[in-house]
Amino acid sequence: MVDIKNIVVLGAGLMGNGIAQVAIMTGYNVTMVDVKQEFVDKGMASINKGVNRLEEKGLLKAAEVLGRLKTSLDLASAVKDADMVIEAVVERMDVKKQVCKTTMDNGPSHIIYASNTSTMDITEIGEDCGAPERVSGMHFFNPVPLMRCIEVIRGDKTSDETFQITMDVAKSLPCLRGERYIAPVLKSRPGFIVNRLNAPVGIYGHYIRDLAYEKGIPWEQLDADYAVLKAPMLPCVLSDYVGIDTSYYGALYYVEKLSPDFKPGKVITMMFNEKKLGRKTGQGFYDWSEGRPTPDTSIKAGLVDFDIIAAIRMNEGCRLLEEGVVKSYNVIDEANMAGMNTPGPFERGKDRYKELIKKLEEFVALTGKTYLTPCEMFKTGKFLEMA
Ligand code: CAA
Ligand code: NAD
């Protein structure tokens, strides 16, 4: 089995710089690659800040750790002596396929390409690269150093060795907030586990955000509806944190692969077109120029029905079981907790699933969003046998 020592992290953005940071902290030699020096510099600034903060806490020696990091603007030369590429470029299939091919054309014959795509099929990413058996998925959560979950994905052609190496590298990467949780994804289906579970909540989210926009309700008030959940981030803050472009491209991918009901709503489309991408551009639902916003949640919009959200998530979790992406609903709940620091749908909702099915059917009748129709596994309660 290949011994991974040299890793190229492709993309120095939100995810790439976090991945590069945890990789140098593990002891790997890392070259972080982007297309422009300014993107590399921004990524480097974030890594420096993180590593220096850890030195202040006496947890590492910054100079030693940073000494393992190089940067480059040229992927073809950066992969020459690399054992693995972890790719975190923009969420577009054409770009991912192209950089995968550049990796295989220029890297050594053992190089592995692991994509951090949020949604896209690993088989398709690798199909034209000439070595699909060396392509896998390694899906991190944002921010990488603090979120425990990494989903490791097998494409149809991923070899056992590639999958095992990807698992081993994932397990080796430290997490600053608890123990790493590695979720093997048994089938490369859109969104894998955690994102897929929550993707159709986006259908409801687009509906509610467009409604709030039409009624002139401020985003703070919409977020205030969710404050009762005590989740670590309110939904509009989280959307900004993740990046509106990532959600937008993800939704388009789900439209292509799952259903037209995932079509991005008016609000998200407008923000995407106006480049109000959230944290990364300084403006999204909120202004990020002074750091992470803390919305005033004293006035609620009163638009959100949590039973519908619970029903949508449980239904989608059941689809994951039907499609063989995972074998047990506990894995779904655990992965969601490790990836988003919020509970999954099953443990809380399983005892009242019949009531939730009724709610979901009413919502489908109201909106015509037929993708949300309860699936067989949910309707029959068969999922209860898959704990
Ligand atoms: N290196 C070193 N230390 C770091 C660091 C880094 N890169 N980043 C943060 N830290 C440190 C901070 O300095 C801080 O320590 P000090 O207080 O000693 O300075 C500590 O970590 C905690 O940082 P924060 O104060 O920022 O943390 P918080 O308590 O506010 O929690 C959070 C932050 C964990 C992100 C929490 O808000 C949360 O769980 N949010 C939800 C995030 C989420 O859902 N992510 C998943 C999105 S979906 C996704 O990612 C998948 C996809 O494909 C789109
Ligand atoms: P980002 O926009 O912050 O960073 C992407 C970086 O990739 C940019 O700096 C861009 O210049 C660079 N890039 C684009 N094309 C490139 C190329 N051909 N070669 C080298 N660099 C290139 O985006 P991000 O949030 O870091 O997302 C990156 C990937 O990670 C996406 O696939 C996204 O779906 C996935 N992801 C994002 C999150 C999240 O919360 N943001 C979480 C998990 C996974």
Residue 232 has pLDDT above 90, yes or no: yes
Write the single-letter amino acid at 264: P
DSSP state of 373: S
- What does the pLDDT read at residue 297? 96
User: Residue 219 carries which side chain, given as an amino acid letter?
Assistant: W
pLDDT of 1 > 80? The answer is no
State in Å: Cα 333 to ligand 2 middle.
Answer: 26
Give bridge partners of residue 71 from the DSSP assignment: 32
Report CA(1)–ligand 1 centroid distance (Å): 34
Residue partners of 292: CB distance under 8 A and separation at least 6: 237, 241, 279
Q: What distance in Å separates the CA atoms of residue 174 and residue 170, rounded to the nearest whole number?
A: 9
d(CA 254, CA 263): 8
Instruction: Give the residue among 150, 157, 154, 93 at the shortest CA–CA distance from 125.
Output: 93
Query: What is the rounded CA–CA span in Å between residue 206 and residue 262?
Result: 9
Cβ–Cβ under 8 Å, residues 150 and 170: yes
Q: Which atom of ligand 1 is nearest to the CA of 243?
A: 54
Tokens of 32: 């972080």
Residue 138's H or E segment, with its range, is: strand 135-140
Task: For the full predicted model, state whether its pTM sits above 0.85.
Answer: yes
Atom of ligand 2 at shortest range from CA of 87? 29
| CA dihedral of 275, 276, 280, 281, whole degrees rounded to 10 | 80
Catalytic residue positions, numbered: 118, 139, 151, 195
- 54 CB near ligand 1 (under 6 Å): yes
CB of 233 closer than 6 A to ligand 1?
A: yes
Ligand 2 atom with the smallest distance to the CA of 241 is 40
pLDDT at 235: 98
Determine the atom of ligand 1 nearest the C-alpha atom of 341.
39
Q: Nearest CA to 183 among 7, 328, 20? A: 328
Average pLDDT for the chain? 97
Residue 2 pLDDT class (50, 70, 90 cuts): confident
Given a cut of 90, is residue 64 above it in pLDDT?
yes
Cα-to-centroid distance, 236 and ligand 2 (Å): 20
Is residue 275 predicted with pLDDT exceeding 90?
Answer: yes
For atom 38 of ligand 1, the residue with the nearest CA is 232
In the block, residue with structure tokens 């056992």: 160
246 lines ligand 1 (CB under 6 A): yes
**Average of per-residue pLDDT across 61-84:** 98
Whether the CB-CB separation of 39 and 65 falls below 8 Å is answered with: no
Expressed in angstroms, the distance from the first to the final Cα of the chain is 34
Whether ligand 1 lies within 6 angstroms of the CB of 132 is answered as no
Question: What pLDDT does 168 receive?
Answer: 98
What are the phi and psi torsion angles at 108 (to 5°)?
-65, 165
Please tell me the distance between residue 271's alpha carbon and the centre of ligand 2 in angstroms.
Answer: 18
Helix-then-strand count for the chain, H and E: 17, 8
Pocket of ligand 2, beta carbon within 6 A: 10-16, 33-35, 39, 75, 88-91, 95, 99, 116-118, 140-142, 242-243, 246, 280
Mean pLDDT, to the nearest integer, of 220-229?
Answer: 96
